[in-house]
């Protein structure tokens, strides 16, 4: 059942291995990359409680010793205080230039540990062992690393590609339904941005995936990672096509800021709602048919996912304020907001040519629907 996706970046190429049971054999998988049988692991307290012993015993089978630091779970960890704690801990552990740091957790840990590895002794290698669906299909692959600033998400960071990614499909079994579905938002994104047949497959297989069908999970993760690898190969540093991976993210980042990056809205939930809004915007601009946003929303709803603004608990700011929050997005160039729009399902493209009034009308109507709900 195992699948391997190769990320063919010249001089920095690596494999993403996807399948069940990888944690048990992690030592044998990692050993070829080590100069000495010792790794430093950064993780979070939740993942540590569930899986750290399995990681330790998987490494021990190959005679690899491990030291670990468990940071608090949650988005607020992805900031300077825990970052400097992690870097200083790695130095205290005497991690050398040729050692390997292991990121063992979801997107927060992967991004923080990758960034720590990128600056430690001017750059050490790191291996991603992503434990959330979101990290397995998106954040662990492609080398974007970093932390958040008070001014916005992911504004401090570096491109630093991992040396290996081990995505154990069995680990996904310990995710809450909410976390699983949030990660599934990113899976749906791949179908919507570039592969209509994959979206149709998800419409059929999505419920089985959520129920735990292992073969379907491996296929969905491998397909998503392959799509990401293809895009990253074309445009590693996001000069063009890589921005397609941000479908739904302009809306999502505004919603995350509006909800204080709190538990009210998980990143993947915001991506799903953002994708629905991006298709609504595309349809209003006459780019895609009116049926496309309905089809996107129908699938999200069938999966029991957050789909509309009213699915976010509590009050939201008005449409003008949400538009203002979009202006904080990293993708603003010369004050122009970049949007990922679509000519149909699987046909996304990047543009800065979007009239503000149409974005406002989409937001106003979405908020109005909530008031009526
Ligand atoms: N998560 C978007 C990217 O890696 O480019």
The Cα–Cα gap between 93 and 90 comes to 5
138 lines ligand 1 (CB under 6 A): yes
Q: What is the pLDDT of residues 306-353, one digit of tens each?
A: 999 999 999 999 999 999 998 765 556 666 778 999 999 999 999 988
Mapping DSSP to helix (H, G, I), strand (E, B) and coil, where does residue 165 land? Answer: strand
Q: What is the DSSP letter of 157?
A: E
Secondary-structure class of domain 177-372 per CATH: mainly alpha
Asked if 174 and 323 count as a contact pair (C-beta separation under 8 A), the reply is no
Instruction: For the chain, give every domain's residue range.
Output: 3-174, 177-372
pLDDT greater than 60 at residue 180? yes
Secondary element (H or E) of residue 350: strand 348-351
Q: Where in the sequence numbering do the catalytic residues fall?
A: 122, 144, 186, 228, 238, 242, 246, 249, 253, 267
pLDDT of residue 365: 96
Q: Residue 246 CA: which ligand 1 atom is closest?
A: 2
Strands 65-71 and 38-44: parallel
Ligand 1 touching residue 144 (CB < 6 A): yes
Number of H helices, E strands in the chain: 13, 11
The per-residue pLDDT for 329 is 59
Q: What contacts 155, CB < 8 A, 6 or more positions away?
A: 146, 148, 149, 330
Token code pair at residue 113: 């540990």
* Segments in 235-355 forming alpha helices (H): 249-258, 267-284, 291-302, 319-326
- Give residue 61 CA to ligand 1 midpoint distance, Å: 34
What average pLDDT score do residues 119-139 get? 98
Q: 152 pLDDT band (50/70/90 cuts)?
A: confident
Mean pLDDT of the chain, nearest integer: 95
* pLDDT tens digits, 270-314: 999 999 999 999 999 999 999 999 999 999 999 999 999 999 999
Beta-carbon-side half-sphere exposure of residue 226 (alpha carbons within 13 Å): 14
Quote the tokens at residue 54: 């399995």
Give the H or E element holding residue 349. Answer: strand 348-351
By CB atoms closer than 10 A (0-12, 13-18, 19+), residue 88 is exposed
Residue 62 φ/ψ region, left for φ over 0, alpha for ψ in the -120 to 50 degree band, beta for the rest:
alpha
* Cα of 139 from ligand 1 centre, angstroms: 6
Beta bridge partners of 147: 156
Does residue 245 line the site of ligand 1, with CB under 6 A? yes
**372 CA to centre of ligand 1 in angstroms:** 35
Q: What is the DSSP string of 296-364?
A: HHHHHHHTT---SGGGS-S----HHHHHHHHTTSTT-BTTBPPEEEESSTT-EEEES---HHHHHHHHH
The CATH fold of domain 3-174? Rossmann fold (3.40.50)
DSSP, res 195: -
């Amino acid at each position: 059942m195992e699948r391997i996706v190769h990320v063919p970046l010249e001089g920095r190429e690596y494999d993403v291995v996807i399948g069940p049971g990888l944690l048990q054999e992690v030592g044998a998988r990692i050993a070829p990359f080590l100069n000495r049988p010792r790794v430093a692991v950064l993780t979070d307290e939740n993942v540590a409680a569930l899986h750290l012993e399995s990681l330790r015993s998987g490494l021990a089978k190959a005679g690899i010793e491990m030291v670990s630091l468990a940071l608090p779970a949650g988005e607020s960890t992805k900031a300077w205080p825990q970052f400097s704690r992690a870097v200083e801990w790695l130095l205290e552990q005497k991690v050398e230039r040729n050692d390997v740091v292991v990121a063992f957790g979801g997107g927060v840990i992967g991004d923080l540990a990758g960034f720590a590895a990128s600056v430690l002794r001017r750059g050490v290698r790191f291996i991603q062992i992503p434990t959330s669906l979101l990290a397995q299909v998106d954040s662990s692959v492609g080398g974007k690393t970093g932390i958040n600033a008070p001014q916005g998400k992911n504004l401090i960071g570096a491109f630093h590609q991992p040396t290996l990614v081990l995505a154990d499909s069995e680990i996904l079994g310990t995710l809450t339904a909410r976390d699983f579905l949030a990660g599934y938002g990113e899976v749906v994104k791949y179908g919507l941005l570039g592969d209509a047949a994959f979206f149709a497959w998800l419409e059929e297989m999505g419920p089985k995936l959520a129920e735990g069908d292992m073969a379907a999970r491996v296929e969905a993760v491998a397909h998503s990672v392959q799509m990401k690898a293809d895009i990253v190969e074309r445009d590693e540093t996001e000069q063009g096509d890589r921005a397609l991976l941000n479908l739904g993210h302009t809306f999502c980042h505004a919603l995350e800021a509006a909800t204080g990056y709190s538990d009210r809205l998980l990143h993947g939930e915001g991506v799903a709602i953002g994708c629905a809004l991006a298709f609504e915007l595309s349809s209003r601009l006459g780019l895609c048919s009116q049926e496309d946003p309905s089809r996107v929303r129908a699938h999200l709803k069938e999966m029991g996912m957050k789909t509309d603004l009213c699915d976010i608990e509590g009050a939201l700011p008005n449409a003008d304020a949400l538009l203002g929050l979009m202006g904080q997005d990293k993708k603003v160039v010369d004050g122009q907001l970049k949007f990922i729009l679509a000519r149909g399902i699987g046909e996304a493209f990047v543009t800065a040519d979007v009239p503000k009034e149409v974005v406002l009308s989409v937001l106003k109507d979405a908020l109005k629907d909530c008031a009526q709900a």
